[in-house]
Amino acid sequence: MKMVLASKNAHKLVEMRDILSAQGVEVVLESDVGVDVDVEETGTTFEENALLKARAVMEATGLPSIADDSGLMVDALNGAPGVYSARYGGPALDDAGRYRLLLDNMRGQLDRRCRFVSAICCCFPNGDIVTARGECPGTLAYAPKGEDGFGYDPVFFVPSLKKTFAELTGGEKNAVSHRGAALAAFSGNLTKYLASL
């Protein structure tokens, strides 16, 4: 089965392909099927934004479309940056600028608890929807560490592994990450859905 990823994020594509290929799912980018859909993320939850993206790409391509909306929720900041994780601090900031701003906003804060959240939504041309959610608890590091990953990975510390996401291999990250958990749940939900057809 082919699914179009409702994202231009190549890192998300790699993670989704790694996990969903075992299900016989081929995940492709919008550009692979000749579309470029720009979706305004107006939802107030990760689930709402994932649905907006998946539905728009499914309607543009006529193919099953899968979207992930994810972000970092910091307890001491009342869940911020949350659904605004990719836009935190405005359009002028890149990934490093966003996590530096977050570290600045957390200066002097002893409660470093946070969690990554991922909401997955797949929309099918027949109107059916399959969803899943995953979370990964952690703590916010005091300084970035590691060279891999993307987004807030260099400052998201996993206490049980004593490493940031950016210090993990792709396989290590998929085994514990929010997106890994969401995709594992999604994979099970997809299997049930396909068996019901």
Q: Annotation-wise, does 7 bind a ligand?
A: yes
Q: Annotation-wise, does 26 bind a ligand?
A: no
Q: Annotation-wise, does 10 bind a ligand?
A: yes
Q: Annotation-wise, does 88 bind a ligand?
A: no
Cα distance between the two ends of the chain: 14
Question: Catalytic: which of 69, 75, 94, 104?
Answer: 69
Torsion of CA 107, 76, 90, 4, to 10 degrees: 130
Q: Annotation-wise, does 153 bind a ligand?
A: yes
The residue length of the chain stands at 197
Measured in whole angstroms, how far is the alpha carbon of residue 130 from the centre of its chain? 16
How many Å apart are CA 180 and CA 83, to the nearest integer? 18
Angle at 84 between CA 144 and CA 79, to 5 degrees: 75
Q: Annotation-wise, does 152 bind a ligand?
A: yes
Q: Across-strand partners of 133?
A: 119
Q: Annotation-wise, does 94 bind a ligand?
A: no
Q: Annotation-wise, does 49 bind a ligand?
A: no
How many Å apart are CA 101 and CA 145, to the nearest integer? 16
Q: Annotation-wise, does 104 bind a ligand?
A: no
3-class DSSP state for residue 135? Answer: strand
How many Å apart are CA 109 and CA 113, to the nearest integer? 10
- The verdict on whether 69 is a catalytic residue reads yes
Q: Annotation-wise, does 178 bind a ligand?
A: yes
Q: Annotation-wise, does 38 bind a ligand?
A: no
Measured in whole angstroms, how far is the alpha carbon of residue 135 from the centre of its chain? 10
Binding annotation? 7-12, 40, 69-70, 150-153, 173, 178-179
Residues acting as catalytic residues? 69
Binding annotation for substrate? 7-12, 70, 150-153, 173, 178-179
Binding annotation for Mg(2+)? 40, 69
